[in-house]
Structure 1
C-alpha cells in the first residue's frame, strides 16, 4: 500500500471551491479551530486528506505541530496585489495617491512578501531624516526635583522622607508612541514566514535604527498617536504598521501547537474602501457621512443594527443608506438575505431607497421594488480589477444614484457625482 505523501505548503485562492490535500490531523484541526479557512474538514473519501476552502481571509500562516513538519498555508486574493494595495492605501489615507511605484509591490507574486516590502519602504522613508522626537509623560523616583512633585505619591510611598522624590515631567525623547509602533511592526514582520531574504535584511536594518525604543509587550494595547504636522512623514508608515499588527494571526502554544502568520479580511478591506470612497465623494457638501452608524430597528431599542454608510442632510435627517458586501455571490445572483437586511435599514431610517455595493462577480446591477412598501433596493456591482482612474468614478456613479432622492447637495458635489 502506498503511503500518503503529506504536503508542507499549500496555496489557496479566496472563495475558490474546496480542494482535498494530504494533511496531518493536528494541522487540519488547528486550521479549523483558528478559523483561518471557511472549511477544514477530513475528506470522507480520502483518508489522511482534508478538504480546505478559503474564505475572505488572505495572507500566509505557518502551523507547527508536534511530530509534524512545519506546514505553510498561503491564501491569495482574487484581485491583483497592486490593486489590493490601492484599495488598502485609499481606505487608510484617501488624500494620498497610492501608486505601484510607491509601494513597489509588482515584483512580488505573493501577498506577504509584497506587504513586507511596502512596509519596509515606508518605514525607511519615515526614518530617513532620523527618529522623530516628542514629549512623553514620565513619572519616576529621583534625587532631584524635575517637573512637578507628586505629593500624594510622595506621602504614600516615602512616609515623609525628603529623598528620593516622586516627580512627573514631560521628557523630550525618541521613545514615543510613533517609534514604538514602527518597531513593533518591523519585529512582527521579521517573525513571519515567507518574507524574502532581501526584505528581511532591510527590516533588520530598520530594527537597528529603532533599537533604543521601548518594545511593546505582546498582548498589550498599542499606544495612541495623533496625526499632526510634526509627525506627517510618519503617517503612511504608521497606517501600514497598524495593518501589520491588526492582521497578526493568533500564536498558540496549547499542546505544543503554534500558529504564526499574517492575515487580513477582504470583507473588511472592501467595506472600508467603499465607505471611505463614498464619504470622499460627498466631502464639501452640506451633508454628513457617518460610517458604521449605530441604530435600532425597533422602538424599544432592543434590536441593534449598524449600516456601513448613512448620509445625513443639513437638518440631520437621513438621506441615504448603503452597505458594502464583498462576500461570494450565490450562483446566478446576489444573496437574498442582504436584501432583507437593507429593507430593515430603509424601514428604520424612513428612506425610500437602499444601496448594496458588491465586488463584481456573476451578477449585474439590479433593482427591486418591495411590494406594499414602495421601497427600492439597489444592488451595485463594483469591478475591482480596473485602474483607480476608472474605479473611483464608478464609486461616484453609485453616489450619484444615492444623491437622487435628496437633490440638496452643493454644486461641487453635483459636479463630482456626474
Structure 2
C-alpha cells in the first residue's frame, strides 16, 4: 500500500482529476477520491473542512462550513482543475440582499439595481450581476483621471527627481528621472473592474451568454492594466465624478475581497472566491439595526472595544452597542449565524452575552440568530437580574419580512 508520504515524493500528479464536487453550506460530509496534494491544498487553504480517510488511501472527506462560493484547484500535470462549489442554504437573491448590507452604506444594492435574473446558482448569478453593473458603469465611456507616473525619459517632462537623478545617473544628463501626472483611463476604478472580469472568466460555471458579455467588457477595458496575482488592490474613494461606478465597484470588491488564496505549495494553485456567511449575517444584523434605530436619539457603534475586567486586560468586542444621549451604553446585541437545534442554542452564547451585560452595566442583552423554532425567547439570570433575549430571523422570507423582524428587535432594545 502506498502511503501519503510516498505519494508526495512521486512528483506531480498526472492522473485525471474528478471534475469537481458540489457541497452544501454546513451540509453532510462527502467522501471523494482525490490526489493527496489536492486534499492538502483544500485543507490548508481554509476552503472546506478536508480530512484524509485513515482507512482508504486517496480518499478525502470534504465538508463545507460557513463559506460559500467556488474555487479551482489546479494540479501540475493535469489539464482541468478540480472545482469545489459550496452552495448557500439561503436563496441567491437573499444572499445578494445580505451582501448589500455588508458593503453598501448608501443603500444602492437595496433598491433592486443588482439583479441576479433567473440564475439560481452563485457563480452564474455573480457573473451576471457584475457584467450588468460593469456595462452600466462603462456605458458613458471609461472614467479618466490623473495618475502619478515616475519613469526614466529622454525628454524632460514635468518635474525632475533630482535625488534619483544623482543616485542613479551619477551626473549624466540623459536619460532623465522625471515624475508627472498623466490623464489616463488606467486608474484604480478601471483596474478593479478589469481584474474582477478576468477572475470570473477563469471560473467554470459561467453561462455562455454571460461569458460572451464579460469578454465584451474586457475588450472595453483593454487599455487598462489588471492587478497581477499577489499584488494589493488599488484604493478608490467614492466621489461625485465616479458615481456611476459605485455599484459596479462594490460588487467587484465582493468578488475580489472574497478571493481565496491563489497560490499553494508544490505548484498547486487555488483560484476562486468565497463568502463567509457568518460575516455577511453579522454585517446585515448590525447595519440593519443601526438603520432601524436612526432618529431615536441614540448612537450605535459596531464592534466597539470594551474590557471585561477592571484592569482592562481582557478585551471584548460586542457586535452592536447602543449608547444613550449621555454616552452611556443602553443596549447590546450579538449576531450568531446559527440555527436552533433540538437541544436549543449553544449555552456558550448565553455566557458570552452575560459577560457583555455585566461589563457594560446593562440589565438586558440580545442575541440574534439566523433561524429558530420560535421568534423570541427570554432568560432571566439567577441572582443577577439580567435578562438575555434570543431572537430568530428567518432568512428564507422576503426582505420586507426580514426588515420587519429587525425592527421588532430594535424596538425591544429601546424598550429595555
* Aligned residue number for residue 232 of structure 1: 243
User: Quick check: 1:8 aligned with 2:19?
Assistant: yes
TM-score with structure 1 length normalisation?
Answer: 0.87
Deviation at 1:137, TM superposition (A): 2.7
* Aligned residue number for residue 360 of structure 2: 349
Contact 1:31 1:40 in 2 (8 A): no
Gaps of 5+ in 2: 1-15
1:263-278 to 2 correspondences below 5 Å:
263-278=274-289
* Aligned residue number for residue 72 of structure 2: 62
Gaps of 5+ in 1: 406-418
Q: Matches of 1:287 and 1:16 in 2, distance apart?
A: 40
The change in CA–CA distance for 1:91 and 1:35 in structure 2 (over 3 A counts) is closer
Q: Matches of 2:44 and 2:155 in 1, distance apart?
A: 55
Task: After superposition, give the CA deviation of every residue in 1:30-70 in whole Å (9 maximum; x if it has no partner).
Answer: 322322223534175x6654333211111122223357774
Deviation at 1:90, TM superposition (A): 3.2
User: Quick check: 1:380 aligned with 2:387?
Assistant: no
- Pairing partner for 2:304 from 288, 293, 316: 293
Q: Matches of 1:65 and 1:314 in 2, distance apart?
A: 59
Contact 1:82 1:106 in 2 (8 A): no
User: Quick check: 1:35 aligned with 2:46?
Assistant: yes
SS at match of 1:107: coil
More deviation in 370-379 or 104-113? 104-113
Contact 2:375 2:393 in 1 (8 A): no
Deviation at 1:330, TM superposition (A): 4.2
- For these two proteins, the number of residue pairs brought into alignment is 400
The change in CA–CA distance for 1:202 and 1:376 in structure 2 (over 3 A counts) is same
* Aligned residue number for residue 123 of structure 2: 112
Q: Matches of 1:84 and 1:247 in 2, distance apart?
A: 14
Contact 1:100 1:106 in 2 (8 A): no
* Aligned residue number for residue 134 of structure 1: 145
The change in CA–CA distance for 1:8 and 1:138 in structure 2 (over 3 A counts) is closer
SS at match of 2:143: coil
Q: Matches of 2:296 and 2:166 in 1, distance apart?
A: 57
Q: Matches of 1:390 and 1:261 in 2, distance apart?
A: 33
The change in CA–CA distance for 1:296 and 1:148 in structure 2 (over 3 A counts) is farther
Contact 2:52 2:60 in 1 (8 A): yes
User: Quick check: 1:74 aligned with 2:85?
Assistant: yes
SS at match of 2:228: coil
* Aligned residue number for residue 401 of structure 1: 412
Q: Matches of 1:402 and 1:214 in 2, distance apart?
A: 49
Task: After superposition, give the CA deviation of every residue in 1:81-108 in whole Å (9 maximum; x if it has no partner).
Answer: 1111111123322543547964342422
The change in CA–CA distance for 1:269 and 1:43 in structure 2 (over 3 A counts) is farther
Q: Matches of 1:37 and 1:186 in 2, distance apart?
A: 25
The change in CA–CA distance for 1:256 and 1:363 in structure 2 (over 3 A counts) is farther
The change in CA–CA distance for 1:151 and 1:27 in structure 2 (over 3 A counts) is closer
User: Quick check: 1:319 aligned with 2:319?
Assistant: no
Q: Matches of 1:314 and 1:389 in 2, distance apart?
A: 30
Task: After superposition, give the CA deviation of every residue in 1:256-282 in whole Å (9 maximum; x if it has no partner).
Answer: 433222211111111111111112122
* Aligned residue number for residue 52 of structure 1: 62
Q: Matches of 1:384 and 1:154 in 2, distance apart?
A: 62
Deviation at 1:166, TM superposition (A): 4.2
* Aligned residue number for residue 7 of structure 2: none
The change in CA–CA distance for 1:7 and 1:221 in structure 2 (over 3 A counts) is closer
Deviation at 1:111, TM superposition (A): 0.7
Q: Matches of 1:256 and 1:87 in 2, distance apart?
A: 36
Contact 2:101 2:283 in 1 (8 A): no
User: Quick check: 1:331 aligned with 2:359?
Assistant: no
The change in CA–CA distance for 1:279 and 1:145 in structure 2 (over 3 A counts) is farther
CA RMSD in angstroms, aligned pairs only: 2.7
Q: Matches of 1:326 and 1:187 in 2, distance apart?
A: 32
Task: After superposition, give the CA deviation of every residue in 1:365-415 in whole Å (9 maximum; x if it has no partner).
Answer: 22112222212111110111111122112111111111123xxxxxxxxxx
Deviation at 1:17, TM superposition (A): 2.5
SS at match of 2:47: coil
Task: After superposition, give the CA deviation of every residue in 1:122-154 in whole Å (9 maximum; x if it has no partner).
Answer: 111111101111222333445555544444444
The change in CA–CA distance for 1:7 and 1:177 in structure 2 (over 3 A counts) is closer
SS at match of 2:270: strand
